[in-house]
Amino acid sequence: MPDAMHSSKTRLLDAALTIIRARGYSATRIEDVCETAGVTKGSFFHHFKGKEDLAVAAAKYWSDTTGAFFDSAPYHRHEDPLERVLGYVEFRKAILTGKVQEFTCLVGTMVQETYDTHPAIRDACDASISGHAAKVEADIAAAMKQRKMQPRWTAKSLALHTQAVLQGAFILAKAKKDAAIAADSVDHLRCYIELLFAEYSEKRNLPDHR
């Protein structure tokens, strides 16, 4: 096995992430991916069965790389699980920098085009989103348990809501060519989570501070 970090397959996957995030799945041409990766079509079809196979592999590669990225983020160091949840949200806000295609989500982009026509890609995207949400859900559930909360909502639905806000924020950022609008929505998400937990933590005996 040659250097996995810079193998042709890895370069093809990296190129796929870049191009699909900018243009979407359908508009992404295999030849463009090859050119960006610096390999030829023969090499591409050695590593992937076809375009759909690339998309599925790209979704898994995306899950793996972003998963490792978030696992190494500093917010995990908080003792309080709620601090970890809020730290996660702040971290998501902090990485809204640079060009739009550099902070938006591969699988959120792909699933829009493929959910009805490419079940394998849809499943791969769902697995990526759900897997990521599950990590957030764990911290939310821990924070709820710590406070003995029994709200009408579940940790799972709130975790998925965080993903919905982020995905929607990406769409607004694309429409407006502006990351700031996405950051505003993430601020609202943070505010919501604080309100949800404040309601239970303080039992409405809330100090005046404004």
CB 112, min distance to DNA, A? 18
Residue (of 120, 121, 119, 99) closest to 170 by Cα position: 99
Pick 6 or 210: Cβ nearer DNA: 6
Cβ contact 121:106 at 8 Å: no
CB 31, min distance to DNA, A? 5
Instruction: From the list DNA, its own copies, none, pick the one residue 73 interacts with, judged by a Cβ distance below 5 to 8 Å according to partner type.
Output: none
Does 35 sit near its own copies (CB under 8 A)?
no
- DSSP string computed for 188-205: HHHHHHHHHHHHHHSTT-
Over its C-alpha atoms, the chain yields an Rg (Å, rounded) of 19
Does 103 sit near its own copies (CB under 8 A)?
no
Cβ contact 93:187 at 8 Å: yes
How far the first Cα of the chain sits from its last, in Å, is: 61
Does 196 sit near its own copies (CB under 8 A)?
yes
Instruction: From the list DNA, its own copies, none, pick the one residue 120 interacts with, judged by a Cβ distance below 5 to 8 Å according to partner type.
Output: none
CA distances from 35 to 39, 43, 122 (A): 6, 11, 26
Which of 30, 113, 138, 142 is close enough to bind its own copies by CB under 8 A?
A: 113
Which of 40, 97, 117, 146 is close enough to bind its own copies by CB under 8 A?
A: 117
Number of residues that bind its own copies (CB under 8 A): 65
Site string for its own copies, 67-86 (x = CB under 8 A): ---------------x---x
CB 14, min distance to its own copies, A? 18
Which residues in 118-177 contact its own copies (CB under 8 A)? 122, 125-126, 129-130, 153, 157-158, 160-161, 163-169, 171-172, 174-177
CA 33 to mean position of chain CA atoms:
22
Those residues whose C-beta lies under 8 Å from the C-beta of residue 107, and which sit 6 or more positions away, are 59, 62, 63, 124, 125, 128, 129
